[in-house]
Structure 1
Amino acid sequence: MVVSVAATDSDTAQPVQYSTFFASRYVRDPLPRFRMPEQSIPREAAYQIINDELMLDGNPRLNLASFVTTWMEPECDKLIMDSVNKNYVDMDEYPVTTELQNRCVNMIAHLFNAPIKEDETAIGVGTVGSSEAIMLAGLAFKRKWQNKRKEQGKPCDKPNIVTGANVQVCWEKFARYFEVELKEVKLSEGYYVMDPVKAVEMVDENTICVAAILGSTLTGEFEDVKLLNNLLTEKNKETGWDVPIHVDAASGGFIAPFLYPELEWDFRLPLVKSINVSGHKYGLVYPGVGWVIWRSKEDLPEELIFHINYLGTDQPTFTLNFSKGSSQIIAQYYQLIRLGFEGYKNIMQNCMENTAILREGIEATGRFEILSKEAGVPLVAFSLKDSGRYTVFDISEHLRRFGWIVPAYTMPANAEHVAVLRVVIREDFSRSLAERLVSDIVKILHELDAHSAQVLKISSAIAKQQSGDDGVVTKKSVLETEREIFAYWRDQVKKKQTGIC
């Protein structure tokens, strides 16, 4: 970028013109990284310095690890910028923003089939994301359980939550931050979601809720909430307990109502007392915005709601964060009225079609096993059929050369030996990008195969030299030598990618 920049000479207080920005001392002289600089710099210089560093970030559109929305319409971008200076919590000063939030809560509650009467409003709140929403829902379950135990004269110091081992880390955070035991149903190879039968077996009188996931982060699969509801209903009848269900619909809450309307996972099931969803995922809003909806007022203890009046009028609040921007709330309302049910359905169908194209392309290589289900969140999770000389982690590293960010990870307990790649399909991931990704994966496989053949040739020669007269390898097996050479080669590639000589 070449521009004329006016700066002020400290001796003469006269503007000094630079014909090119990069010739200015503000760019040529490094600024301190961890201490505030002593002197001010021109706004153009501050912008250029930061912008140059940000160019080294990954491209959000090619970040296939993330469920988070990376594109919105220009009109919504403008609404966001117009409201970026509004404090969402100040209901008295910004009553229209508060009204838009309430409309969003009611729209989402109806989408989830909440039992709302015509003269009632839905019970829910906007949050920074599903993490905060889960914290709030968990606190409501904990307090309600504690109140009931106190009324019964029973101890209330050992609450627990039952989940699958595939839950997002925010559930672990809630358990640790708020002193709740997290009882996890372990996974098994080929079954990467919570087993409702095992989950109900783990429920006891101290269980404040069972958390089901509508769209597992690992494979995108929907857990069977209806079966969980039926099994837990029977157990509650047998024991006299009243253990409820929370549905973590962070990813699937804006998918299931449009693609699988007959699927019963929401407030149609009596034991589902609260649901969270991420507006910044398939709600199609930039981060960060989430929502938590309760079935009724009785499911949100009144003592958790705070009333303040120092911003103008009495304002009830139930959030972990206090001050935050209004932009994402307004953006969510824009998407809900702009797209409507038809628009969301079309977008989700398109995402699923592009998922199918990517899935077919990956299967056609003959090198991968698809672990994700066709019904669920639009993503493709796949593992290598041959876990020989290179791994999914090597493929993930090499994809970065083409700009793709594709995560590789291992499954949680007890399926840690399964390693996968996962590609999330968002609204801005087109068919052409899916085809290009498959093409790049094929290129990488050919490269890795070629290097693997070289490794085999070298290791065989080394092993032959190290064998005795009878031809038996005495020091290292061929496989061990191959692994050492291949690990060395991977290390060299990584050093080149990071600029380390």
Structure 2
Amino acid sequence: MALAHPSGQSEPGSSEVSVNPLYTRVPVQISKNDLPARGLDPELAYQIVHDELMLDGNARLNLATFVTTWMEPQADRLMAECFDKNMIDKDEYPRTADLEARCVRMLAGLWHAPDALNAPGCSTTGSSEACMLAGLALKRRWKHRGGTGTPNIVMGANVQVCWEKFANYWDVEMRLVPMEGDRLHLSAEEAVARCDENTIGVVAVLGSTFDGSYEPVADICAALDQLQASSGLDIPVHVDGASGAMIAPFCDPHLVWDFRLPRVSSINTSGHKYGLVYPGVGWVIWRDERALPEDLVFRVNYLGGNMPTFALNFSRPGSQVVTQYYNFLRLGFDGYRRVQHACRHVATWLSAEIAALGPFQLLTRGDELPVFAFTVAGDQPFSVFDVSTAMRAEGWLIPAYTFPANRTDLSALRIVVRNGFSEDLAGLMLDNLKRVLGTLAKQDHPRHGPAAASFAHGA
């Protein structure tokens, strides 16, 4: 017989726990910081965690993130079926490994690698790891060319924080080009001006996370071609296409930014952004075997078989790679084109509607990445941080942030349009924004400044 509990409930671990109403099952007090002495009924444990997560924001209404927040139910099902597969264990899961290799070849072809079937590449946990691997390859190539002294890497101040981590972790001088006036990203002239014999490479961003704009990859490559002709310096370019490498091929097919430019040595993208997969998966592809030094590749055999690996992480689930392949099959080129054009349509429509409201000035309009930034125009009684705070109360997460040097005077809001953010949802958000503006217009002065921002750019 079960022991009686003072409350009239059964003792923990009793066979009668399962017949108690869910929210009256003991223990009533749940430890949040210490491992409980006894376990809980699985339904109770689930409900406790589920209820706490209800206090998170609604991912579909998060207009700050670039990360995919909706997939088809068939992709959800495939992902669940592969949670237990270790991506690194290629001998045990050869079909999953082959799907990864197929994705690499598809991306290499999409980005016009000279020999797409043999271009080296791999999946990663996201673009941050992909950028680290690309940066390591650049540094090692510089060393093999006889580089001495302190290596440096050139990029705009608008790069994602992973590049700062790369430079810090691997002792590379980071030569950041600050923003000036209306130039909010890297230019060819500014990039070349910072290059010397110790420059391991230039990073060009195809889709700045600050405003959604493309950096001029072809112009940067042309300027570096001229630099080589005049000085002999042969400096490669890495394209950080975390978002844009899955937008430009479908929306801007005539834009030359990829391996069609001989100076582009590597490209990364986030499968979990406009690759349309849940987090986390990224990809990095090199032009050819010469762009990826062989001495960076490890070969391990204790998993069964002699497997090459180049990664910062080791064990990780294969589910995101499987669903990336599913998306490639399911959508094909035309399907991706439809999705990305639909996102761009919503972005350009919404940016025009916001501009027409009056108090805002567009910095970009969503016609490159389906992302646009805007700021408060003129002398208004509210700031971008007031707008962000008010919209958060309505359930919408719209980040407000200041730009980096030398434009820290500029504060903006940014909206990311992803698959699943339809024109209907955009219209509902616009209605909320109009109501919020009616209230904010009654303030006598702005209430919130940068200290109120809940969004850290690049985090």
Give matches, 1:89-104, under 5 Å. Answer: 89-104=88-103
Q: Which residue, out of 179, 183, 191, partners 2:183?
A: 191
Partner of 2:36: 37
- The DSSP-based 3-state class of the residue aligned with 1:276 is strand
2:362 corresponds to 1:365: no
What residue in structure 1 maps to residue 255 of structure 2?
263
Equivalence map 1:486-501=2 (5 Å): 486=447
Contact 1:357–1:434 (CA under 8 A) maintained in structure 2: no
Report how far residue 11 of structure 1 moved: 9.1
C-alpha contact (below 8 Å) 2:11/2:26 kept by paired residues: no
Give unmatched runs, 5+ long, in structure 2: 1-8, 455-459
Measured after TM superposition, the shift of residue 375 of structure 1 is: 2.9
Give the equivalent residue in structure 1 for 2:4. none
Counterpart in 2 of 1:379?
371
For residues 187 and 272 of structure 1, the distance between their equivalents in structure 2, rounded to whole angstroms, comes to: 24
Q: Is the 1:92–1:311 Cα contact (8 Å) retained in structure 2? A: yes
Q: Distance in 1 between matches of 2:374 and 2:310?
A: 40
SS in structure 2 of the partner of residue 76 of structure 1: helix
Mapped contact 1:361–1:435 kept (Cα < 8 A): no
Residues 196-217 of structure 1 show CA distances to partners (whole Å, capped at 9, x for unaligned) of 1111111111000000000000
Kept in 2, the 8 Å contact 1:214–1:248? The answer is yes
Q: CA shift at 1:45, angstroms?
A: 1.1
Shift of 1:451: 2.7
Residue 34 of structure 1, CA deviation: 1.5
**CA displacement at 1:372 relative to structure 2:** 1.2
Name the structure 2 match of 1:456. none
Cα distance change of structure 1 residues 273 and 32 upon mapping to structure 2, 3 Å threshold: same
CA distance in 2, matches of 1:14, 1:413: 64
Contact kept, 8 Å, 2:239 with 2:266, in 1: the verdict is yes
Could you tell which deviates more after superposition, 170-179 or 233-242? 233-242
Q: Match for residue 203 of structure 1?
A: 195
Which SS does the other structure have where 1:149 is aligned?
A: coil
Query: Cα RMSD over matched residues?
Result: 1.9
Give 1:443's aligned amino acid: R
Determine whether 1:144 maps to 2:146.
no
Does residue 61 in structure 1 map to residue 53 in structure 2? no
CA distance in 2, matches of 1:337, 1:363: 38
Match of 2:127 in 1: 130
Alignment partners' CA distance in 2, 1:90 and 1:12: 38
Cα deviation for residue 386 of structure 1 reads 2.5
- The answer to whether the Cα contact below 8 Å between 1:378 and 1:425 also exists between their aligned partners in 2 is yes
Code of the residue aligned with 2:210 in structure 1: it is L
Q: How many residues align?
A: 444
Aligned residues of 1:380 and 1:423 also touching (Cα < 8 A): yes
Equivalent in the alignment of 2:322: 330
CA distance in 2, matches of 1:133, 1:449: 45
Q: State which drifts further: 43-52 or 14-23.
A: 14-23
CA-to-partner distance for each residue in 1:70-89, whole Å, 9 max, x for gaps? 00000010000001000000
CA 1:15–1:257 in structure 2 vs 1: closer, same or farther (change >3 Å)?
same
Which one of 304, 312, 320 corresponds to residue 312 of structure 1? Answer: 304
- The structure with the larger Rg is 1
Distance (Å, rounded) in 1 between the aligned partners of 2:17 and 2:132: 54
Aligned residue type for 2:74: E
Identical amino acids, percent of aligned pairs: 46
Contact 1:214 1:247 survives alignment (8 Å)? yes
- Structure with greater proportional helix content: 1
Partner-residue secondary structure (3-state), 2:406: coil
**SS at the partner of 1:257?**
helix
Matches within 5 A, 1:55-454: 55-116=54-115, 120-149=117-146, 156-452=148-444
- What TM-score does the superposition give when structure 2 sets the normalisation length? 0.93
Task: Work out whether residues 118 and 288 of structure 2, in 8 Å CA contact, stay in contact via their aligned partners in 1.
Answer: no
Q: Distance in 2 between matches of 1:258 and 1:104?
A: 17
- Taking the aligned partners of 2:153 and 2:13, their CA distance within structure 1 comes to 69
Take 1:348 and 1:307, find their aligned partners in 2: how far apart are those partners?
A: 38
Q: Which moved more, 1:245-254 or 1:31-40?
A: 31-40
Of 73-82 and 12-21, deviating more is 12-21
Gapped runs of 5+ residues in structure 1? Answer: 1-7, 151-155, 453-481, 495-501
CA–CA distance in structure 1, aligned partners of residues 236 and 259 of structure 2:
12
User: Structure 1 pair 31/263, CA: closer, same or farther in 2 (3 Å)?
Assistant: same
Q: Secondary structure at the match of 2:442?
A: helix
What is the rounded CA distance, in whole Å, between the counterparts of 1:97 and 1:16 in structure 2?
42
Residue identity opposite 2:155 in structure 1:
T
Measure the CA separation in 1 of the matches of 2:414 and 2:198.
36
